[in-house]
Amino acid sequence: EIVLTQSPGTLSLSPGERATLSCRASQSVSASYLAWYQQKRGQAPRLLIYGASSRATGIPDRFSGSGSGTDFTLTISRLEPEDFAVYYCQQFGSSPLFTFGPGTKVDIK
Amino acid sequence: EVQLVESGGGLVQPGGSLRLSCAASGFTFSSYSMNWVRQAPGKGLEWISYISSSSTNIYYADSVNGRFTISRDTAKNSLYLQMNSLRAEDTAVYYCARDDQYESVEVIDYWGQGTLVTVSS
């Protein structure tokens, strides 16, 4: 089973700053199988990025994803007030079918 | 607009059973695989079950295998999760989530708002 680790656990930033979130896999993952989700307090998760770097429908271009192998990154170029949330990486595998990382909370400094 | 609305959550005693439902609308339900994903209070996301569009392929997480059963009714555009032998650690918000193929890879792309299941005596 592939284990995903996210860092940092919490990222304290101000609006307008750049956020860089890391997701590391315990073994190599195909970039095609890596996705990122945003979850605001009290809401369901929302798909941001699939295939490590493709933005989902309606996602602003300030969100970008990159990476390969075991190291993946979600970057928010300039934080907007609505971007303060928890972000999860996820990989599509075999058993279990989907695995999520523990999440990174982006909060207001 | 894709809509997924879960129902059936509530308080149940350890060892008890509960059946969750998810009503789907805004897309051709019969064409999509579906999932259940849960989130314990204050914790992260845990995928627990998948069912293909035709119900041919069904998968479970080890944590629920043998206790939970996923099913779907195309005529009713509905997804179900039968949960038996419930434990305290099953306490969570349960999300119904649509699965689509993006560049030939399964991606969970839409989520319902969730229904809370509390297992406690």
Q: Name the residue type at position A91.
A: Q
Q: What is the CA radius of gyration of chain A?
A: 13
Residue with structure tokens 């849960």?
Answer: B38
Averaged pLDDT of chain A: 95
> Residue B44 and residue B29: Cα distance in Å, rounded?
27
Task: Please name the member of B46, B62, B114 whose beta carbon is closest to the beta carbon of A44.
Answer: B114
Q: Which two tokens stand for residue A57?
A: 């429908």
Which residues, listed in sequence order, are joined to residue B36 by a DSSP beta bridge?
B49, B96
Nearest CB to A32; choose among B47, B103, B111: B103
Residues in chain A with CB shorter than 8 Å from the CB of B64 are none
Which amino acid type is present at position A101? G
CB A66 within 8 A of CB A51: no
Q: Give Cβ neighbours of residue A37 (< 8 Å, ≥ 6 apart).
A: A45, A46, A47, A48, A87, A88, A89, A90, B45
A42: phi then psi, degrees, rounded to nearest 5: 80, 5
For A4, B15, B52, B74, the CA distances from B100, given in Å and listed in that order, are: 22, 34, 10, 17
What pLDDT, in 10s, does the model give residues A40-65? 999 999 999 999 999 999 999 999 99
Instruction: State CA B89 to chain mean position distance.
Output: 16
pLDDT tens digit sequence for B103-116? 888 899 999 999 99
- Chain A residue at shortest CA distance from B101: A50
Q: B46 near B117, Cβ under 8 Å?
A: no
Q: What is the pLDDT of residues B19-70, one digit of tens each?
A: 999 999 999 999 999 999 999 999 999 999 999 999 999 999 999 999 999 9
Q: How many CB pairs under 8 A join A and B?
A: 65
Please give the structure tokens belonging to residue A97.
């079918």
Which pLDDT does position B113 carry in this prediction? Answer: 97
